[in-house]
């Protein structure tokens, strides 16, 4: 009897056993030749990460939290975002919009888990790997999220870094813009202390003049928006007509305590909402006047809703035309009624005044919150500005200037904290490349782990193995109680809830080694690799497709067999 | 996965290269069963697909002894194996019968009844693919009403309802009976562990999707099992000593058509028949629940033997 590759060959009659019995296994039988389809492990892009403004690998972070590996989760965040405690609180979290879980028990509360990860980072001082600072010292002008993010990125690339900040404390709008009820001062201070703990020097309390900035050599230019847009109407310069940014900064410094009993706020963006909500907390009756309708408001939806809950009044389709001093020392503000007609350059309906249709109100103060623009005074020579922002060349330079703009002041990105963070990192990479000649690969955590750019859709998932559990969301303070102080509106998610919420995340498109494929393969063609992951034995896989069908997360593709 | 599946060994006792059709529901269950029972197990199978799947002479996909029995006699055969093991003091060796529905519900029912009545110390798994598949899809008494087979080809498929194996086995007062499905591996493994921890005659009724005989897509192997549980077609429950019923998974009452539409064997079923199937499933479930409740009230403290 001969055995070749497990196959038995009887050579003589004597080779035959006395009774029928097996003399070998079946593995020699390459049943893989039966198939016309074959499975392939291929992670897809989760919809959350697809839209994340910082490029966070949301699923990787959730997976670590689910496993209780908080340090690991913090490191996942740090790959793209040094300040998850901040973004967890103030980012508009576009990631939650397309969440596939929405259709199955409720969307994942990504922001609250992110904030919990950020709080862990701060509490446990989780730090990225830091090389020796062997490269030339670099300077960063402005300590908002863009400047601080750039500083961290440069420090991580081996540069000693000095950040220059005009205000008494670092943080930019995180410290002096966004109100404490959304972003507590302690969180901002802790983030700044954490940045310092990496060896970054931050000098506060001195505003650099243009010439000083120019003299620094190649520099990160992250000065944010310096000025509010003017109203351009008579009476704008009267006392008690304030701009929103200065008002909020005053409150954040603890200097501003109130503007009287009744105040009008002009504008429809986040600044207007924060001004109005801040005024409510100072005990002021507040009405927001906006020249378009609620639908066109640029403010985040949640902010508008929360402002309404807190008793902020709204008047739409009205624009101020003049301000006068009233005989009693208050202000008389006259608004003209507006109508929407046609579209403007931004695609929004264009408001046009209805001549003669005016209304005058008497208030104690008027706050302008029409948006902010760049303060040209500090822009280095050679930089081109466009529409109130500094243009950025493909190599990161501001025109001819030795400045690398990032954040609000840089053209080409939106004006959010997350975009500022991302912009800071990219500007840092550009500056590093300029100084050392070494290009830094853009942080792309999903691409780095081989994720396909195609987005995993709900109908591709197999949700049978998930429970239709409701979200674990943080407590939100009742509106009546909210307006009594500047305490956070949204509570923190307790660690156990954050773990439960992270577990609720489907991990769309991502193999988390749940073993469903491995246990269900009818042909033992899927085995576990010692270091993690699976191998498919295509010599035996019959191409039934059960693994791809049953994969809860659409991480297995079936393709035509070759 | 979780719990009991994570605890399974990664060592494979069943080997690749076996002859099951792509997407056949039988091998995953057999593989889990061997992992739970371990290498000190002797398998007996009557004539059925699985006797072929394991391999033709001189090969076997099982790396444990696998004895082929006559179609009608696997429980008798296994009783002999048990006796031989006991006489030689090998009480620790598990005797596992792995039989199709034809060999269980029909031709083997006499030897099954006899072995159950003698309370033979063995675990019997009936993998129920609801017809005689090995010989080319003929009806069995496990074939459900409405299903097409080669021997129920008329436009309305099989007219008679499926025979109730659970009630037959309960009537024998065997220590343990349980229904299991490919879609619920954790439940399967837990029940097999329960069976393993007991002695005497234990039977698992395994709902085994057959893409070939059901005219279904091979990739729907587990999905068909899941839908059978969700629609109430195949409820998951256990019966201890024939008198204590425990239901495990309440059906989600997914519409019956979701289950039927994945299978060509039900293509001729009309909407009123679908409704009748739904009614039947609900009535069956209600009976099962009633029985479980009544038994719990009658013998609240009854412990499994
Ligand atoms: C009221 C308000 C609420 C907002 N709410 C949100 C929100 O909820 N979520 C969100 O994502 N975004 C929000 N934003 C937008 C967000 O705050 C900004 O997009 C972000 O802070 C921009 O970061 P930055 O680093 O570019 O600039 P900034 O945060 O403005 O920081 C710039 C810093 O540069 C300093 N600086 C300027 N010139 C000099 C100089 N010459 N020398 C030294 N220092 C200088 C400034 O003092 C300042 O500290 C809000 C903005 C406002 C105004
Ligand atoms: C006494 C006897 N009659 C008929 C056969 C032919 N035969 C072999 S397997 C089989 C059908 C088996 O059906 P089932 O038990 O449901 O197992 P399946 O093949 O469906 O898995 C038949 C009829 C036989 N082997 N012995
Ligand atoms: S015919 Fe059905 S039961 Fe038999 S091996 Fe094929 S799929 Fe499995
Ligand atoms: Mg059968």
pLDDT tens-digit profile of B20-66?
A: 999 999 999 999 999 999 999 999 999 999 999 999 999 999 999 99
Q: Is residue B303 situated within a structural domain?
A: no
Q: Closest approach of chain A CAs to the CA of B301, in angstroms?
A: 32
Nearest residue, CB atoms, A549 vs list B19, B26, B220: B220
* B259 in A contact zone (CB under 8 Å): no
Residue A8: predicted pLDDT: 95
Q: Do B222 and A514 touch (CB under 8 A)?
A: no
Which residues of chain A register pLDDT less than 50? Answer: none
Q: Which of A285, A294, A239, A295 is nearest to A265 (CA)?
A: A285
Question: For chain B, what percent of residues have pLDDT higher than 90?
Answer: 95
Output the CA B42–ligand 4 centroid distance in Å.
22
Complex ipTM tops 0.85: yes
Q: In this structure, what token pair is assigned to residue B36?
A: 């739970």
* B17 in A contact zone (CB under 8 Å): yes
Q: In this structure, what token pair is assigned to residue B228?
A: 């059978």
* B31 in A contact zone (CB under 8 Å): yes
Strand locations in chain B, DSSP E? Answer: 41-45, 66-68, 94-100, 122-128, 176-181, 201-207, 236-240, 244-249
Q: Considering only CB atoms, which chain B residues are within 8 Å of A527?
A: 10
Q: Closest approach of chain A CAs to the CA of B286, in angstroms?
A: 24
Q: Closest approach of chain B CAs to the CA of A394, in angstroms?
A: 48
Q: Is residue B188 situated within a structural domain?
A: yes
Q: Name the closest residue on chain B to residue A558, using Cα atoms.
A: B219
- The secondary structure of chain A in percent helix, strand, coil, rounded to multiples of 5, reads 35, 20, 45
Residue A443: predicted pLDDT: 81
Asked whether B256 lines ligand 2 (CB < 6 A), one says: no
- Domain region containing B218: 4-298
Report the distance separating Cα A286 and Cα A132, nearest Å. Answer: 53
Report the distance separating Cα B212 and Cα B221, nearest Å. Answer: 11
Report the distance separating Cα A70 and Cα A92, nearest Å. Answer: 23
Q: Indicate the pLDDT class of residue B282, thresholds 50, 70 and 90.
A: very high
Output the CA B141–ligand 4 centroid distance in Å.
10
Report the distance separating Cα A343 and Cα A349, nearest Å. Answer: 4
At A386 the three-state DSSP class reads strand
Q: Name the closest residue on chain B to residue A537, using Cα atoms.
A: B16
Using the atom order of ligand 2, give the atom closest to the CA of residue B47. Answer: 9
CA-atom Rg of chain A in angstroms: 30
Report the distance separating Cα B119 and Cα B112, nearest Å. Answer: 10
Q: Is residue B158 situated within a structural domain?
A: yes
Q: Closest approach of chain B CAs to the CA of A75, in angstroms?
A: 26
Q: Name the closest residue on chain A to residue B54, using Cα atoms.
A: A26
* B55 in A contact zone (CB under 8 Å): yes
Asked whether B41 lines ligand 3 (CB < 6 A), one says: no
Under 8 Å between Cβ of A346 and A269: no
Selected residue of B3, B6, B17 to mutate for chain A interface (largest A Cβ count, 10 A): B17
Over residues B241-269, the mean pLDDT reads: 97
Q: Closest approach of chain A CAs to the CA of B189, in angstroms?
A: 11
CATH number of domain containing B117: 3.40.50.970
Q: Is residue B169 situated within a structural domain?
A: yes
Query: Does the N-terminal peptide bond of residue A148 adopt cis geometry, omega within 30 degrees of 0?
Result: no
Per-residue pLDDT at B303 exceeds 60: no
Q: Considering only CB atoms, which chain A residues are within 8 Å of B61?
A: 25-26
Report the distance separating Cα A518 and Cα A531, nearest Å. Answer: 15
Q: Is residue B232 situated within a structural domain?
A: yes
Q: Name the closest residue on chain B to residue A33, using Cα atoms.
A: B17
Q: Is residue B16 situated within a structural domain?
A: yes
At A76 the three-state DSSP class reads helix
Q: Considering only CB atoms, which chain A residues are within 8 Å of B43?
A: none
Q: Indicate the pLDDT class of residue B301, thresholds 50, 70 and 90.
A: low
Residues from A in contact with B at Cβ < 8 Å: 8, 17, 20-31, 34-35, 464, 514-516, 519-525, 527-528, 537, 540, 542-546, 548-550, 558
Report the distance separating Cα A309 and Cα B161, nearest Å. Answer: 61
Listed in sequence order, the residues at least 6 apart from B135 whose beta carbon sits closer than 8 Å to its beta carbon are none
Pocket test for ligand 2, best of B135, B147, B210 (most atoms within 8 A of CB): B135
Sign of the CA dihedral with A405 first, then A411, A412, and A418 last: positive
Report the distance separating Cα A186 and Cα A208, nearest Å. Answer: 26
Residue B91: predicted pLDDT: 96
Sign of the CA dihedral with B284 first, then B288, B291, and B294 last: negative
Instruction: Report how many domains make up chain B.
Output: 1
* B209 in A contact zone (CB under 8 Å): no
Using the atom order of ligand 2, give the atom closest to the CA of residue B71. Answer: 26
Other Cβ atoms closer than 10 A to A197:
10
Pocket around ligand 1: residues whose beta carbon is below 6 Å from it? A 90-91, 141-147, 164-167, 172-173, 177-178, 207-208, 222-224, 226, 245, 248, 270-271, 274, 378, 407-408, 415-418, 420
Which ligand lies nearest the alpha carbon of B133?
Answer: 2
Q: Do A519 and B220 touch (CB under 8 A)?
A: no
Over residues B154-158, the mean pLDDT reads: 88
Asked whether B129 lines ligand 2 (CB < 6 A), one says: yes
Complete domains list, chain A, with CATH: 230-242+252-369 (3.50.50.60)
Residue B305: predicted pLDDT: 47
Q: Is residue B305 situated within a structural domain?
A: no
Residue A412: predicted pLDDT: 85
Residue B299: predicted pLDDT: 73
Q: Is residue B78 situated within a structural domain?
A: yes
A-to-B residue pairs, Cβ atoms closer than 8 angstroms: 125
Asked whether B137 lines ligand 2 (CB < 6 A), one says: no
Which ligand lies nearest the alpha carbon of A523?
Answer: 3
Asked whether B134 lines ligand 2 (CB < 6 A), one says: yes
Selected residue of A16, A29, A523 to mutate for chain B interface (largest B Cβ count, 10 A): A523
Question: Ligand 3: which residue has its CA nearest to atom 6?
Answer: B21
User: Across chain B, what does the average pLDDT equal?
Assistant: 96
Using the atom order of ligand 3, give the atom closest to the CA of residue B127. Answer: 3
Q: Considering only CB atoms, which chain B residues are within 8 Å of A548?
A: 219
Other Cβ atoms closer than 10 A to B90:
12
Per-residue pLDDT at B206 exceeds 90: yes
**Residue A94: burial class (beta carbons within 10 Å; 0-12, 13-18, 19+):** middle
Output the CA B53–ligand 2 centroid distance in Å.
13
Q: Do A522 and B12 touch (CB under 8 A)?
A: no
Per-residue pLDDT at B300 exceeds 70: no
* B20 in A contact zone (CB under 8 Å): yes
Report the distance separating Cα A390 and Cα A372, nearest Å. Answer: 14
* B50 in A contact zone (CB under 8 Å): no
Report the distance separating Cα B19 and Cα B62, nearest Å. Answer: 12
The pLDDT tens digits for B177-195 are: 999 999 999 999 999 999 9
Phi, psi of A102 (to 5 degrees): -50, -40
């Amino acid at each position: 009897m001969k055995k070749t590759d497990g196959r038995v060959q009887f050579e003589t009659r004597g080779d035959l056993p006395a009774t029928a019995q097996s003399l070998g296994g079946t593995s020699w039988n390459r049943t893989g030749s039966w198939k016309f389809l074959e499975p392939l492990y291929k992670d897809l892009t989760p919809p959350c990460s697809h839209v994340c403004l910082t490029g966070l690998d949301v699923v990787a972070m959730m997976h670590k939290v689910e496993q209780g590996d908080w340090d690991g989760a913090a490191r996942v965040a740090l790959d793209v975002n040094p300040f998850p405690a901040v973004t967890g609180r103030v980012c508009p979290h576009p990631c939650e919009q397309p969440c596939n879980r929405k259709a199955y028990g409720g969307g994942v509360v990504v922001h609250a888990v992110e904030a919990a990860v950020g709080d862990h980072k701060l509490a446990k001082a989780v730090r990225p790997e830091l090389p020796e600072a062997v490269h030339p010292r670099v300077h960063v002008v402005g300590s908002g999220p863009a400047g601080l993010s750039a500083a961290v990125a440069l420090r991580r690339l081996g540069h000693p870094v000095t950040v220059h900040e005009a205000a008494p404390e670092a943080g930019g709008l995180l410290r002096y813009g966004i109100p404490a009820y959304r972003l507590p001062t302690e969180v901002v201070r802790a983030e700044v202390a954490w940045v310092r703990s990496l060896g970054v020097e931050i000098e506060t309390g001195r505003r650099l003049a243009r010439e000083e900035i120019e003299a620094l050599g190649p520099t990160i230019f992250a000065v944010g928006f310096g000025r509010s847009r003017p109203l351009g109407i008579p009476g704008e310069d009267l006392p008690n007509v304030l701009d929103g940014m200065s008002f909020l900064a005053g409150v954040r410094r603890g200097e501003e305590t109130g503007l009287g009993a009744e105040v009008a706020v002009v504008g429809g963006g986040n600044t207007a909402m924060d001004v109005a909500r801040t005024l409510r907390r100072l005990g002021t009756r507040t009405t927001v006047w906006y020249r378009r309708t609620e639908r066109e408001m640029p403010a985040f939806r949640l902010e508008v809703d929360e402002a309404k809950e807190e008793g902020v009044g709204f008047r739409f389709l009205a624009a101020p035309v003049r301000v006068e001093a009233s005989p009693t020392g208050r202000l008389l503000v006259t608004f003209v009624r507006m109508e929407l007609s046609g579209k403007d350059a931004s695609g929004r309906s264009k408001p046009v005044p209805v001549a003669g249709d005016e209304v005058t109100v008497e208030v104690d103060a008027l706050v302008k919150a029409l948006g902010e623009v760049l303060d040209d005074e500090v822009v280095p020579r050679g930089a081109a500005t466009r529409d109130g922002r500094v243009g950025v060349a493909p190599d990161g330079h501001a025109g001819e200037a030795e400045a690398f703009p990032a954040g609000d002041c840089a053209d080409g990105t939106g004006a959010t904290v997350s975009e500022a963070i991302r912009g800071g990192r990219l500007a840092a990479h550009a500056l590093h490349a300029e100084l050392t000649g070494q290009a830094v690969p853009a942080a792309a955590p999903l691409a780095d782990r081989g994720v396909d750019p195609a987005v995993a859709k709900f109908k591709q998932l197999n949700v049978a193995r998930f429970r239709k559990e409701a979200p674990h969301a943080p407590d939100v303070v009742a509106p009546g109680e909210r307006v009594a102080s500047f305490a956070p509106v949204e509570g923190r998610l307790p660690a156990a809830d954050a773990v439960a919420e992270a577990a609720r995340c489907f991990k769309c498109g991502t193999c988390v080694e749940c073993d469903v494929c491995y246990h269900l393969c009818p042909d033992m063609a899927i085995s576990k690799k010692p270091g993690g992951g699976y191998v498919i034995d295509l010599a035996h896989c019959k191409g039934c497709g059960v693994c791809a069908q049953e994969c809860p997360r659409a991480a297995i593709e079936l393709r035509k067999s070759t | 996965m979780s719990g009991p599946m994570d605890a399974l060994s990664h060592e494979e006792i069943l080997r690749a290269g076996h002859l099951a059709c792509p997407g056949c529901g039988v091998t995953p269950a057999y593989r889990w069963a061997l992992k739970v029972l371990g290498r000190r197990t002797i398998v007996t199978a009557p004539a059925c697909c699985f006797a072929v799947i394991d391999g033709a002479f001189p090969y076997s996909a099982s790396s444990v002894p696998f004895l082929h029995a006559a179609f009608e006699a696997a429980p008798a055969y296994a009783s002999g194996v048990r006796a031989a093991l006991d006489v030689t003091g090998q009480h620790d060796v598990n005797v596992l019968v792995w039989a199709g529905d034809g060999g269980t519900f029909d031709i083997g029912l006499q030897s099954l009844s006899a072995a159950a009545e003698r309370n033979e110390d063995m675990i019997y798994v009936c993998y129920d693919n609801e017809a005689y598949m090995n010989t080319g899809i003929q009806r069995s008494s496990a074939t459900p009403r409405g299903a097409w087979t080669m021997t129920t080809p008329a436009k309305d498929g099989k007219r008679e309802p499926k025979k109730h194996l659970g009630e037959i086995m309960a009537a024998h007062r065997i220590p343990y009976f349980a229904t299991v499905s490919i879609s619920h591996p954790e439940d399967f493994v837990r029940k097999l562990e329960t069976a393993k921890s007991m002695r005497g005659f234990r039977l698992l009724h395994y709902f085994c999707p057959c893409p070939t005989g059901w005219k279904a897509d091979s990739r729907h192997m587990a999905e068909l099992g899941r839908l059978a549980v969700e629609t109430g077609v195949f409820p998951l429950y256990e019966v201890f000593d024939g008198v204590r019923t425990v239901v495990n998974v309440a059906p989600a009452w997914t519409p019956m058509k979701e289950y039927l539409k994945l299978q060509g064997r039900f293509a001729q079923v009309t909407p009123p028949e679908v409704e009748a199937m739904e009614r039947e499933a609900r009535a069956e479930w209600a009976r099962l629940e009633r029985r479980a409740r009544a038994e719990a009230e009658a013998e609240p403290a009854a412990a499994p033997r």
